[in-house]
Amino acid sequence: MDEPRLSPFEAVTDGVYVAVAEPASVNVGLVVGTESALVVDTGSSPHQGEQIRQAAEQVAGVPLGAVAVTHWHWDHFFGLAAFADLPSYGHETLAERLGSPDLLAEAAGQGVDATELRAPNRPFSLARVIDLGGRRVELVHFGRGHTEGDVVAIVPDANTIFAGDLLEQSGPPSFGPDCHLKDWPSAVDGILGLVDEDTVIIPGHGSPVDRFFGFEQRARISAVYGQVEYLVSRGVKLDAAYQAGEWPFEAEVIRPLLPLAYQQLAAEGKVPRTHLPML
Ligand SMILES: [Zn+2]
């Protein structure tokens, strides 16, 4: 594993900066207004959160006014404790995640003391607007997708959108056990409904992308669920699914995902049935 470290914040659009936090190469955002600045995502530990905070304050030239978290995964969320004295925004489900076995396991794996972790002190269910002076940032939950509580940060006057892990550029999207395959495309549609030819989309990991990248990745995410739904409707069982399907991502992505996909379809009552022969 790489050492935890933080690249310098670099300008992406007007007054919008990104730094890359290791070891997960997560994009950390900084949006600067005339009166205050907002940090988007907090890195993988309280210590890294402190590094992010110091670097952001130097670049911003105005005080940090708030912080936002795109979702509960450790590489985005675990640094939040370093911002405990500021208004912090995130989906209301983040608080439930704090004591969950999944999160405790992540903390143990990262060598982070779970009792140091903090939930946002301004949780919300749908949307919030943050005024930074001369510009606003809109935080929106477009429904379940990569997790149950993904939040997108939109900077309208810079035509820039932080997508969190709803979109990823450095590799395929991360289909973890907490993703919602059926809903994910419509959450991405929330983003794509806002973009034009000049919009800069900053994914959770990797370089900034344009709308065509977003359209294409949305189509692939949608195709995973669509393909599994098709196979189930034809009576194909889980153990035969990989061979029987046509897949929009490589085997290393699809194979571990298939049990979860079958499970999510089964929860909707869609299970492979063996059709009786016609007499
Ligand atoms: Zn994630």
Q: Strand 5-6 to strand 16-22: parallel, antiparallel, or no bridges (unpaired)?
A: antiparallel
How does DSSP assign 8-29, residue by residue? PPEEEETTEEEEEEETTTEEEE
Measured in Å, how far apart are the chain's first and last C-alpha atoms? 61
Ligand 1 centre distance from Cα of residue 73 (Å): 5
Distance (Å) from CA 156 to ligand 1 centroid? 24
Name which of 213, 221, 214, 176 is nearest 192 in CA terms. 214
> Rounded CA gap, 271 and 128, in Å?
39
* Predicted local distance difference test score (pLDDT) of residue 99: 85
Ligand 1 center to 24 CA (angstroms): 10
Tokens representing 37 are: 């600045």
Q: What is the pLDDT of residue 275?
A: 67
Please identify every stretch of the chain with a pLDDT value under 70, giving residue numbers as ranges: 1-4, 275-279
Cα 234 to ligand 1 centre (Å): 32
Query: Coil, helix or strand for 153?
Result: strand
Residue 200 sits at φ, ψ, to 5 deg, of: -100, 120
Separation of CA 41 and ligand 1 centre (Å): 11
Distance 269 CA to ligand 1 centre (A): 28
Class of domain 5-209: alpha beta
The pLDDT value given to residue 279: 63
Domain chopping of the chain, boundaries: 5-209, 218-279
59 CB contacts (<8 Å, ≥6 apart)?
A: 9, 17, 30, 32
pTM of the prediction? 0.95
* Ligand 1 center–CA 206 separation, angstroms: 13
Contacts of 36 (CB under 8 A, 6+ apart): 62, 63, 64, 65, 66, 132, 133
If you ran DSSP here, which 8-state letter would residue 209 be given? B
Q: No. of H helices and E strands in the chain?
A: 8, 13
> Would you state the pLDDT for residue 207?
98
Question: CA angle at residue 49 from 122 to 130, to 5 degrees?
Answer: 35
pLDDT of residue 76: 98
Q: What tens digit of pLDDT does each residue of 39-87 get?
A: 999 999 999 999 999 999 999 999 999 999 999 999 999 999 999 999 9
> How far are the Cα atoms of 49, 95, 132, 153, 226 from residue 90, in angstroms, in the given order?
16, 9, 17, 10, 30
Query: Ligand 1 centre from 124 Cα, in Å?
Result: 19
Beta strand pairing call for 16-22 and 26-32? antiparallel
Report the alpha-carbon distance of residue 139 to residue 175 in Å, rounded: 23
DSSP, res 34:
S
